Amino acid sequence: MFAAPAAEGQRPQYRIDATYVPQKDEVKAHMELILPAQGTRAQTEAFFHLYPNVFRDWKYGREAKPQKPGYIDISNVRVDGKPVKEKISGIIMRIPLPTPLTKGKSARIEMDFLLNLPRGGTRLNTFKQTAFLAQWYPMLSVRDQDGWHTEPYTTVGDPFYTQMSDFEVTFRLPQGYQVISTGNNADGRVRSPITVKQERVRDFAAVLTKDYRVTRGKMGNIQVNLWYLKGMENVVKPLHEAAVSGMKFYGERFGPYPYDEVDIVLGETGFGIAGMEYPGLVTSIPTVPAESGQVPAVNVVVHELAHQWWYGVVGNNQVKEPWLDEGLTTFSEFLYMQKKMKEDERGLLKKAAKRTDEIHRVVGVTSVERLYDYPDAVYGMMVYIRPAAMMFQLMDEIGEKKVMDILHTYYERYRFKVATTRDFIRVANEVAGKDLTPFFDEWLYFKHK
Ligand SMILES: [Zn+2]
């Protein structure tokens, strides 16, 4: 169990004022963070992740190396108005708090940052007249009962762990640029400056663009926007329909989506990234290969949308237990594809169960490991596919309705919180009315009877 990082009403509050200069691939910004005390012990420091700095001096695989490096520089750090000296080591920044922060109090941390966007970066990227701003500002690291989470970057999975926060972001843009973001922009007016707010989200992503066009629609009260580039016209209708129907499908089964809008942005966002989830915004490639040739990427779109439930609303430590959001999301995706697209992958999942048994024997990893412990080649099978197969097997054993009840209860109980594998198993046992621990032990931890 994790101690709640901050009680309701005491979320960190970010205020960012950002000016985009496309000619220089730069975003110049001022950031203010109201930081409520976290935990019960007095707090004398705060840590931030500076993810753009992984693109400064790329240490990972050559295939994902950006064509042009990027970075984030920090200056003028102040705490409650007093200048302090930050310490940066790689992607981690430590800021000292001159007055120890005690329970119920908060500190105001301010800084300027200069973001230089990489070209061909993974997630954080710029091309033509579009900038993808992902993990683009100094992101407060999580402090919980295990202490500060200052985990390093990796190219395997999504190495990000952040907490529910409130955002108010002002963008100053050259003429003709618009903002697609975690916040709402339902009126669709193109203007600058534009201020976008969103409360209770783990992250704030934005796409600044002069090139994207949009198709808008509604699922109940939720605005569902599909953004695409010239040349993608033939997938707009099927993918927008899939997005609307996917939001409905998941909302009915797992519980209501708590925000007013979701944006789906089509296009490549870096090597090896078919799609990516952010609160209120997902990216997806437009098409995927099939036997009949390239087809609209319905599976990718509904996968990323399912993450709004698993990771977006119900959080988990994606570094420590990546299966918890990826496994449930892959299951959600396969369930949608089976029910709505008549694509039954049960045969593939049965094979995957056998294959992962072999992987476990040879490589030694289970489905519940940290990102760093997986070789790239087995990550998808262990973290996405096997847990999805497990959920289908569970449907066979206790029935589809019970499994939906488990997911619904889990969603309701851990909405806006952080859940763990143990929490998930506890809910499953409770809702099923029997001890499923041996079932999960076998599927997740390979403990065979
Ligand atoms: Zn995923």
User: Is 307 annotated as ligand-binding?
Assistant: yes
Decide if 418 contacts 263 (C-beta within 8 A).
Answer: no
| Cα(141)–Cα(139) distance, integer angstroms | 6
Query: Could you tell me how far CA 102 lies from the centroid of its own chain?
Result: 30
CA of 383 to the centre of ligand 1 (A): 10
The burial class, CB within 10 Å (0-12 / 13-18 / 19+), for 358 is exposed
Instruction: Determine which one of 384, 410, 411, 414 is catalytic.
Output: 384
Task: Output DSSP code: residue 156.
Answer: S
Confidence of residue 186 (pLDDT cuts 50, 70, 90): low
Give mean pLDDT, residues 85-101: 96
User: Is 408 annotated as ligand-binding?
Assistant: no
- Annotation marks residue 384 as catalytic: yes
Give the tokens for residue 102: 């005690």
User: Is 303 annotated as ligand-binding?
Assistant: yes
Task: Output DSSP code: residue 373.
Answer: G
Residue 238 has pLDDT above 70, yes or no: yes
241 phi/psi in degrees, rounded to 5: -60, -40
Residue 424: Cβ within 10 Å count: 23
CA of 196 to the centre of ligand 1 (A): 26
Amino acid letter for position 171 = F
Q: What is the pLDDT of residue 448?
A: 80
The burial class, CB within 10 Å (0-12 / 13-18 / 19+), for 401 is exposed
Domains of the chain: 1-211 (2.60.40.1730), 212-308 (1.10.390.10), 322-445 (1.10.390.10)
Give the tokens for residue 293: 């040739």
Decide if 107 contacts 32 (C-beta within 8 A).
Answer: no
Residue 2 has pLDDT above 50, yes or no: no
CA of 391 to the centre of ligand 1 (A): 16
First to last CA, the chain: 27
135 phi/psi in degrees, rounded to 5: 45, 50
Residue 72: Cβ within 10 Å count: 25
Helix/strand/coil for 186: coil
| Cα(81)–Cα(68) distance, integer angstroms | 36
CA of 304 to the centre of ligand 1 (A): 6
Confidence of residue 38 (pLDDT cuts 50, 70, 90): confident
- What is the chain's mean pLDDT, rounded? 94
CA of 297 to the centre of ligand 1 (A): 14
Instruction: Determine which one of 86, 261, 277, 304 is catalytic.
Output: 304
Q: What is the pLDDT of residues 288-347, one digit of tens each?
A: 999 899 999 999 999 999 999 999 999 999 999 999 999 999 999 999 999 999 998 888
- Annotation marks residue 304 as catalytic: yes
